[in-house]
């Protein structure tokens, strides 16, 4: 593995990481503020991707597609927040899991019903295509570099929002003491809807951006959701900082693992059928999660959660 | 509801449905409708998987989104052993494969139990939400592993051409295999009844409601929950081995999050925490699957097939909506509903 | 001389910059009820949690008899003879009173490993639950789910569960909390009998109970132990009067000088 290849893989890892951050941030925010675990978050990711694919196909504009992705996901988010999530905030985790799993069924099958089984493709625009020359002589796809930029921008934006604005203050207050915020007269309903919609929009955006790299199909959201869960467990639930750190960790571990492990392990355990290196690489992030749990049961930046009785 | 009352209530309707499974299978045997026996067998096996989950979920209060891990381990136990028996290659250190059900079941029990021990040890140290995510993640890890395990089919899965054998029985007969699964389900139900009534069961139920109180009487909620989780994993693992045998096929999808979700769905549908809940739920699920899935070809062929075929093809939408309604408005699932109805029908209560 | 049943030795605990407990030392000798009183926010709850084992301390020691249990958790301390009750009733709501008591017995006898025998058939268990229920006047309520019990009955069930553990020392956290006059008097009687079984560290706000029951009193204010001694000594203690009991010569618990203020007097001036 040459230095150039290694650097390329590291960039890929960061790119995966920031995309994961977009997904995980919404999830962890929603849990931190509302105490809600939302399995349908992957569906919002998927809806964003489909909205982008459809819109950009119809309008010919990639940017319009991105806008549509955030809007569609936010709208879908608002709709389910009003109809379903509102009733779940006070319920226990099992009911939240079941209800949001039910939403996955509805959204996934619903999307299949409308769009059919075949994947859609979302083409990146010409002005984002092609390689870019990085210092050191490495050529790297412009599009991926842009994703990294977008991801960092979002992270910064979220940081500013949460730490510097009034809304952010309310969000932080809501995170540490839900009941108190309501008592203080903050419009809790609006705050919750806002937080949910924000998380949804981020997920939708991620769906569109990643969908361009791969493809847009039903079921694309759930693997990202599960990875986002790993990110949150590693980073600590409720913590955006943790989500960022965890996402980068997961992104890098997964990408570098897949790039390096087959070369390292396969020669040691030769097999005609199975690449044990690749298999180990696919399990690596979960092993990472397990290791973090051993030393930090509440994640790197997590606080111990109060037990609900 | 007291332990005793919890065990007693829901028994009659649930027991009835449990027994009716056998009645249906017997009838189908004599009516020479083997497909219906297969459906009944499928229901019995899924019910067994659900009984396992219910022990952790309903009684222990552990929301495990990764029970497919055990289901799949059971399935692959069968797949690995049987495929080696099939092609004669030695398995490990010269040990041969096996197509004997008792051996396969024992293997499934051991490996899913071990997996539950490890996963439980990691997951139970943390609080509720993390537990859900961690169990899901570990199941996903095994799913990835199975996809990469091309020795045993990888993503395409593994076909076992002949049903495995049970000494003294002709397992190729649909009814015989059904009765085997039904018997195992019965044993599991009896075991759960015993467990719940035992001091362990009392302590476990208490740990679900108040871990602090349990600690204050000198018991360790973690140990109780871990024990329950391991037993739960073993039962679901056994179901996995049977499922793979029924379909003569094992694939990574047995380890998928969808499978975890589906098992949870029908446990909830039937009534979580109730003894026969998984049985009722599994029967309902298999019926729904069969009826709705087959709807388009039967009713809406021809003129209306375009739009209405969606009704059946996409029955998951209806399942999702149904589940949503149940969670939001009708807790207790089907058995809970039956209980409420019967309470209203017989107003003279016996408290 | 035998070591005290419970010994709290220079226990300190802070939360950030707030000092909840500052070098608290007190002990509970065999045969006595040692009451711990003080206004809300004095740090009593923190100390209770530390003694119970659910909260760690920053420095100091907790001894049960001659055993240092400082680094042991609640489960271990319970197994070594600590029997606690909770300030807010922590009973198992869906289980009957009988099942709750059975739980305590399962804990004491280490029966949780028994997986296949119905607990009702474990020899002697039901009889024992009955005995403890009788002692706390819960005999007729054994089959009632704990969530349906009255508040007073639930407090008694809490106590019965602690009793069922046959502990070496009781840690009772406001057992009279929320009780009306009649129920409180009954509870006071029960607590008096309890002392025969094992010594008690009693945290209470109800001054009637404290003055009626306590052999020794310790007063905690703002994280510090400002006084410790028998009832008369404490009543005469100037600092205690000023900071907690309020100024005034006559502080006998039962005299009803201000009938209108019955509840306030009962609760002590620490309650806002």
Q: Looking at residues C154-174, what average pLDDT do you find?
A: 93
* CA–CA dist C32, C25 (Å, integer): 17
In order of start, what are the domains of chain A with their CATH numbers? 3-295 (1.10.3470)
- Which helix (H) or strand (E) segment holds residue A59: the answer is helix A41-59
Closest-CA residue of B relative to C89 is: B213
Are the Cβ atoms of C115 and B194 closer than 8 angstroms?
yes
Are the Cβ atoms of B328 and A87 closer than 8 angstroms?
yes
In a domain? residue B350: no
Closest-CA residue of A relative to B120 is: A290
By Cβ distance, the residue of A84, A223, A229 closest to B133 is A229
Which chain A residues have a beta carbon less than 8 Å from that of B272? 94
Q: How far is C118 from chain B (nearest CA, A)?
A: 4
Which chain A residues have a beta carbon less than 8 Å from that of B151? 271, 273-274
| Other Cβ atoms within 10 Å of C180 Cβ, number | 10
Q: Is B307 on the interface with A (CB under 8 A)?
A: no
First-residue to last-residue Cα distance in chain A = 53
By Cβ distance, the residue of B200, B205, B216 closest to C95 is B205
Are the Cβ atoms of B148 and A282 closer than 8 angstroms?
yes
Give the least confident one: A253-257, A292-296, B127-131, C210-214: B127-131
Q: How confident is the model at residue A240 (pLDDT cuts 50, 70, 90)?
A: confident
* CA–CA dist A299, A34 (Å, integer): 19
Answer whether residue C84 shows pLDDT above 80: yes
Q: Which of B54, B68, B127, B149 to mutate to test the interface with A (most CBs of A within 10 A)?
A: B127
Answer whether residue C86 shows pLDDT above 90: yes
Greater confidence (A131 vs A183) lies with A131
Domain that holds residue B334: 3-345
Are the Cβ atoms of A113 and B317 closer than 8 angstroms?
yes
Tokens of A70: 């955030």
Which chain B residues have a beta carbon less than 8 Å from that of A228? none
Q: For residues C184 and C209, is the Cβ–Cβ distance under 8 A?
A: yes
Tokens of C238: 């100037």
Q: Is B132 on the interface with A (CB under 8 A)?
A: yes
Write the CB contacts of B133 (distance below 8 Å, at least 6 apart in sequence): A37, A229, A230, A232, A233, B65
By Cβ distance, the residue of C107, C114, C122 closest to B217 is C107
Q: How far is B26 from chain A (nearest CA, A)?
A: 34
Are the Cβ atoms of C116 and B198 closer than 8 angstroms?
yes
What are B209-255's pLDDT values in tens digits? 999 999 999 999 999 999 999 999 999 999 999 999 999 999 999 99
pLDDT score, position B334: 66
What's the gap between Cα B24 and its chain centre?
20
| Other Cβ atoms within 10 Å of B162 Cβ, number | 12
Q: At what angle do helices A188-213 and A221-235 cross, to 10 degrees?
A: 120
pLDDT score, position B241: 96
Q: Looking at residues B18-34, what average pLDDT do you find?
A: 91
pLDDT score, position B8: 52
Query: B169 has which bridge partners?
Result: B166
Tell me the DSSP string of A117-135: SSPB--PPPGGG-SEEEET
pLDDT score, position C258: 37
Q: How confident is the model at residue C231 (pLDDT cuts 50, 70, 90)?
A: confident
* CA–CA dist B210, B228 (Å, integer): 16
Burial letters B207-242, b for 16+ CB under 10 A, else e: bbbbbbbbbbbbbbbbebbbbbbbbbbbbbbbbbbb
**C200 phi, psi to nearest 5 deg:** -130, 135
Answer whether residue C266 shows pLDDT above 70: no
Answer whether residue B347 shows pLDDT above 70: no
The domain total for chain B is 1
Q: What is the DSSP letter of A14?
A: H
What are the sequence ranges of the domains in chain C? 6-91+167-267, 94-148
First-residue to last-residue Cα distance in chain B = 10
* CA–CA dist C10, C31 (Å, integer): 23
Q: For residues B164 and B100, is the Cβ–Cβ distance under 8 A?
A: yes
Q: Is B115 on the interface with A (CB under 8 A)?
A: no
* CA–CA dist C142, C135 (Å, integer): 12
What are C97-155's pLDDT values in tens digits? 999 999 999 999 999 998 999 999 998 999 999 999 999 989 999 999 999 999 989 99
In a domain? residue B23: yes
Q: pTM of the predicted model, to two decimals?
A: 0.89
Q: Looking at residues C184-206, what average pLDDT do you find?
A: 90
Compute chain A's Rg from CA coordinates. 20
Residue with tokens 């399990």: A283
Write the CB contacts of A249 (distance below 8 Å, at least 6 apart in sequence): A17, A231, A234, A288
Greater confidence (C16 vs B302) lies with C16
**C173 phi, psi to nearest 5 deg:** -100, 100
- Chains with ≥3 Cβ pairs under 8 A against A? B
Q: Which of B64, B269, B314 to mutate to test the interface with A (most CBs of A within 10 A)?
A: B314
Q: How confident is the model at residue C232 (pLDDT cuts 50, 70, 90)?
A: confident
What are A52-79's pLDDT values in tens digits? 999 998 888 889 999 999 999 999 999 9
CATH of domain C6-91+167-267: 3.40.50.300
Which chain B residues have a beta carbon less than 8 Å from that of C72? none
In a domain? residue B272: yes
Tell me the DSSP string of A115-178: H-SSPB--PPPGGG-SEEEETTTEEEEHHHHHHHHHHHHHHHHHHHHHHHSHHHHHHHHHHH-H
Q: Is B224 on the interface with C (CB under 8 A)?
A: yes
Greater confidence (B56 vs B298) lies with B56
pLDDT score, position A307: 37
As a three-state string, the secondary structure of chain C is CCCCCEEEEEEEEEECCEEEEEEEEEEECCCCEEEEECCCCCCHHHHHHHHHCCCCCCEEEEEECCEECCCCCHHHHHHCCEEEECCCCCCCCCCEHHHHHHHHHHHHHCCCCCCCCCHHHCCCHHHHHHHHHHHCCCHHHCCCEHHHCCHHHHHHHHHHHHHHCCCCEEEEECCCCCCCHHHHHHHHHHHHHHHHHCCEEEECCCHHHHHHHCCEEEEEECCEEEEEECHHHHHHCHHHHHHHHCCCCCCCCCCCCCHHHHHHHHHCCCCC
Which chain C residues have a beta carbon less than 8 Å from that of B194? 115-118
Residue with tokens 């569609």: A72
Closest-CA residue of C relative to B192 is: C116
Q: How far is B210 from chain C (nearest CA, A)?
A: 6
What are B78-102's pLDDT values in tens digits? 999 999 888 877 777 777 888 889 9
Q: Is B89 exposed, middle or buried (0-12, 13-18, 19+ CB in 10 A)?
A: exposed
What are A145-179's pLDDT values in tens digits? 999 999 999 999 998 888 888 778 877 777 767 66
Average pLDDT across chain B, whole number: 86
Answer whether residue B345 shows pLDDT above 80: no
* CA–CA dist C2, B337 (Å, integer): 61
Are the Cβ atoms of B202 and C95 closer than 8 angstroms?
yes
* CA–CA dist C32, B198 (Å, integer): 38
Q: Is C92 on the interface with B (CB under 8 A)?
A: yes
What's the gap between Cα A298 and its chain centre?
20
Q: Is C137 on the interface with B (CB under 8 A)?
A: no
Greater confidence (A183 vs C180) lies with C180
Q: Looking at residues B44-54, what average pLDDT do you find?
A: 96
* CA–CA dist B120, B231 (Å, integer): 11
* CA–CA dist A80, A100 (Å, integer): 10
Q: What is the DSSP letter of A83?
A: I
What are B101-139's pLDDT values in tens digits? 999 999 999 999 999 999 999 899 887 788 999 999 999
- How big is the A-B interface in CB pairs under 8 Å? 139
**Stated length of chain C:** 272
By Cβ distance, the residue of B201, B209, B217 closest to C78 is B217
Answer whether residue A206 shows pLDDT above 50: yes
pLDDT score, position B179: 95
Write down the ipTM of this complex: 0.89
* CA–CA dist A72, A83 (Å, integer): 16
pLDDT score, position A22: 95
Tokens of B166: 């049970």
By Cβ distance, the residue of B1, B195, B220 closest to C145 is B1
* CA–CA dist B321, C229 (Å, integer): 67
Q: What is the CATH number of the domain that holds B267?
A: 1.10.3470
Tokens of A147: 């994703």
| Other Cβ atoms within 10 Å of B293 Cβ, number | 13
Which chain B residues have a beta carbon less than 8 Å from that of C117? 194, 198-199
Q: Assign residue C43 a region: left if phi > 0, alpha if psi is -120 to 50, beta otherwise? A: left
Q: Looking at residues A277-298, what average pLDDT do you find?
A: 90
Write the CB contacts of B55 (distance below 8 Å, at least 6 apart in sequence): B192, B195, B228, B231, B232, B235
As a three-state string, the secondary structure of chain B is CCHHHHHHCCHHHHHHHHHHHHHHHHHHHHCCCHHHHHHHHHHHHHHHHHHHHHHHHHHCCCCCCCCHHHHHHHHHHHHHHHHHHHHCCCCECCECCCCEHHHHHHHHHHHHHHHHHHHHHHHCCCCHHHHHHHHHHHHHHHHHHHHHCHHHCHHHCEECCCCCEECCECCCCHHHHHHHHHHHHHHHHHHHHHHHHCHHHHHHHHHHHCHHHHHHCCCCHHHHHHHHHHHHHHHHHHHHHHHHHHHCEECHHHHCHHHHHHHHHHHHHHCCCCCCHHHHHHHHHHHHHHHHHCHHHHHCCHHHHHHHHHHHHCHHHHHHHHHHHHHHHCCCHHHHHHHHHHHHHCCCCCC
pLDDT score, position B126: 80
Average pLDDT across chain A, whole number: 88
pLDDT score, position C248: 44
What are A88-133's pLDDT values in tens digits? 888 888 889 999 999 999 999 899 888 888 888 888 888 888 888 8
Which chain B residues have a beta carbon less than 8 Å from that of A287? 141
By Cβ distance, the residue of C96, C103, C145 closest to B217 is C103
The percentage of residues in chain A with a pLDDT greater than 70, rounded to a whole number, is 95
């Amino acid at each position: 593995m040459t230095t150039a290849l290694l650097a390329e893989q590291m960039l890929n890892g960061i790119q995966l990481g920031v995309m994961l951050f977009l997904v995980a941030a919404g999830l962890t925010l929603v849990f931190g503020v509302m105490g809600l675990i939302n399995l349908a978050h992957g569906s919002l990711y998927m809806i964003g991707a489909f909205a982008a694919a459809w819109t950009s196909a119809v309008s010919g504009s990639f940017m319009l597609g991105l806008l549509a992705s955030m809007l569609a996901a936010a709208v879908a988010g608002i709709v389910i927040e009003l109809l379903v999530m509102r009733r779940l905030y006070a319920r226990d985790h099992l009911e939240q899991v079941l209800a949001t799993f039910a939403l996955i069924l509805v959204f996934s099958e619903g999307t299949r019903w409308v769009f059919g089984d075949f994947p859609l493709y979302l083409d990146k625009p010409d002005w984002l295509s092609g390689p870019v020359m990085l210092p050191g002589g490495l050529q790297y796809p412009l599009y991926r570099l842009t994703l990294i930029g977008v991801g960092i921008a979002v992270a910064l934006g979220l940081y500013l929002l949460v730490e510097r604005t009034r809304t952010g203050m309310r969000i932080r207050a809501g995170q540490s003491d839900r009941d108190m915020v309501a008592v203080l007269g903050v419009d809790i309903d609006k705050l919750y809807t806002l937080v949910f919609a924000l998380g949804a929009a981020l997920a939708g955006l991620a769906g569109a951006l990643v969908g361009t790299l791969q493809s847009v199909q039903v079921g694309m959201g759930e693997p990202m959701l599960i990875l986002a869960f790993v990110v949150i467990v590693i980073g600590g639930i409720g913590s955006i900082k943790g989500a960022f750190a965890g996402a980068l960790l997961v992104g890098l571990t997964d990408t570098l693992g897949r790039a390096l492990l087959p070369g390292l392990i396969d020669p040691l355990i030769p097999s005609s059928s199975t690449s044990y290196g690749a298999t180990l690489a696919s399990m690596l992030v979960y092993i990472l999660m397990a290791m973090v749990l051993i030393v930090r049961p509440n994640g790197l930046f997590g606080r111990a959660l109060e037990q609900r009785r | 509801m007291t332990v005793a009352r919890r065990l007693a209530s829901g028994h009659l309707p649930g027991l009835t449905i449990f027994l009716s499974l056998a009645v249906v299978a017997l009838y189908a045997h004599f009516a020479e409708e083997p497909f219906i026996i297969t459906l009944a067998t499928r229901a019995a096996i899924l019910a067994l998987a659900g009984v396992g989950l219910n022990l952790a979920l309903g009684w222990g209060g552990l929301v495990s989104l990764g029970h497919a891990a055990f289901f799949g381990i059971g399935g692959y136990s069968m797949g690995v052993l049987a495929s080696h028996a099939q092609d004669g290659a030695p398995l490990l250190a010269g040990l041969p494969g096996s197509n004997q059900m008792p051996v396969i079941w024992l293997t499934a029990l051991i490996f899913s139990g071990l997996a539950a021990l490890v996963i439980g040890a990691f997951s139970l140290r943390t609080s509720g939400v993390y537990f859900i995510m961690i169990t899901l993640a570990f199941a996903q890890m095994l799913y990835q592993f199975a996809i990469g395990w091309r020795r045993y089919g990888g993503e395409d899965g593994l076909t076992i051409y002949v049903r495995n054998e049970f000494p003294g029985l002709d397992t190729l007969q649909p009814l015989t295999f059904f009765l085997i699964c039904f018997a195992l389900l019965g044993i599991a139900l009896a075991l759960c009844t015993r467990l719940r009534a035992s001091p362990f069961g009392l302590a476990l139920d208490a740990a679900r409601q108040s871990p602090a109180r349990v600690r204050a009487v000198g018991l360790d909620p973690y140990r109780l929950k871990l024990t329950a989780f391991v037993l739960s994993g073993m039962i679901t693992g056994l179901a996995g081995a049977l499922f793979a045998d029924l379909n003569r096929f094992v694939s990574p999808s047995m380890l998928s999050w969808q499978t975890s979700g589906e098992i949870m769905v029908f446990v909830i549908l039937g009534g979580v925490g109730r003894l026969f809940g998984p049985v009722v739920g599994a029967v309902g699920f298999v019926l729904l699957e069969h009826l709705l899935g087959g709807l388009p070809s039967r009713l809406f062929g021809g003129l209306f097939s375009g739009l209405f075929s969606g009704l059946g093809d996409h029955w998951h939408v209806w399942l999702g909506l149904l589940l949503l309604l149940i969670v939001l408005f009708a807790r207790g699932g089907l058995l809970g509903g039956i209980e409420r109805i019967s309470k209203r029908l017989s107003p003279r209560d016996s408290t | 001389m035998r070591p005290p049943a419970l010994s709290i030795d220079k226990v300190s605990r802070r939360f950030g910059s707030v000092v909840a407990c500052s070098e608290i030392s007190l002990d509970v000798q065999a045969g006595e009820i040692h009451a711990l009183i003080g206004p809300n926010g004095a740090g009593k709850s923190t100390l209770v949690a530390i003694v119970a084992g659910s909260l760690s301390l920053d420095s100091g020691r907790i001894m049960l008899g001659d055993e240092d249990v400082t680094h042991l958790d609640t489960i271990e301390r319970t197994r070594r003879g600590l029997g606690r009750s909770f300030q807010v009733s922590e009973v198992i709501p869906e289980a009957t009173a009988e099942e709750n008591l059975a739980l305590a017995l399962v804990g004491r006898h280490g029966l949780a490993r028994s997986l296949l025998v119905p607990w009702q058939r474990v020899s002697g268990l039901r009889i024992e639950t009955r005995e403890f229920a009788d002692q706390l006047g819960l005999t007729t309520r054994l089959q009632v789910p704990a969530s349906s019990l009255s508040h007073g009955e639930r407090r008694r069930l809490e106590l019965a569960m602690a009793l069922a553990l046959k502990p070496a020392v009781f840690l009772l956290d406001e057992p009279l909390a929320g009780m009306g006059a009649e129920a409180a008097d009954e509870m006071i009687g029960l607590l008096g009998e309890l002392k025969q079984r094992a010594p008690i560290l009693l945290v209470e706000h109800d001054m009637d109970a404290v003055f009626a029951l306590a052999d020794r009193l310790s007063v905690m204010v703002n994280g510090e132990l400002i006084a410790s001694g028998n009832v008369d000594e404490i009543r005469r203690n100037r600092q205690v009067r000023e900071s907690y009991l309020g100024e005034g010569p006559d502080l006998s618990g039962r005299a009803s000088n201000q009938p209108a203020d019955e509840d306030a007097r009962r609760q002590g001036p620490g309650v806002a």
